[in-house]
Amino acid sequence: MMLERRQFPRNRVYYGGMVAFNARNSTLACVVRNFSQRGAKIEFENTATIPDRVDFEIARRSLSCFARLVWRDQNAAGLVFSDMQKPVQETSEIIPLDWARKLRATERENRKLRSRLDQVLSEH
């Protein structure tokens, strides 16, 4: 029998999750296998690609927070949540992942339009 060292026992779950890093420019989908109010076990294809500190989100639970990897192996990692007290809207350092994606898409569209405008102006 394995000794449970966690202060808050984790419940087995099967949620879709997301980790983001590089100022939210890099994201990876993951599967959340167990979860508590202080941490989670996540699984995905290669944990070597993610840094030790990430933004973590479970849309189904309306959870978005900073997290720190406390262990990792080839296809799984253990996270401890860093900032669970403040809702995302009150935390200036974190913006919701869907907002970051919309902003990035808008910036891409803006670059395309500027490029097209420059092209049209140079033709005349």
How confident is the model over 61-81, as pLDDT tens digits? 888 899 999 998 888 999 999
Reply yes or no on whether the pLDDT at 58 is more than 60.
Answer: yes
The answer to whether 70 touches 56, Cβ cutoff 8 Å, is no
Backbone angles phi, psi at 40, to 5 degrees: -160, 155
Between these two residues, 19 and 5, which has the higher pLDDT value? Answer: 19
Locate all alpha helices (DSSP H) within the chain, ordered by sequence.
97-123
For 28, the enclosing helix (H) or strand (E) is strand 26-35
Residue-wise pLDDT for 42-54, tens only, equals 998 877 778 999 9
Q: Kindly report the pTM of this predicted structure.
A: 0.59
| Coil vs helix vs strand at 63 | strand
**Distant-in-sequence, close-in-space partners of 29: CB < 8 Å, separation ≥ 6:** 16, 17, 18, 44
Between these two residues, 85 and 110, which has the higher pLDDT value? Answer: 110
Domains and CATH numbers, the chain: 11-123 (2.40.10)
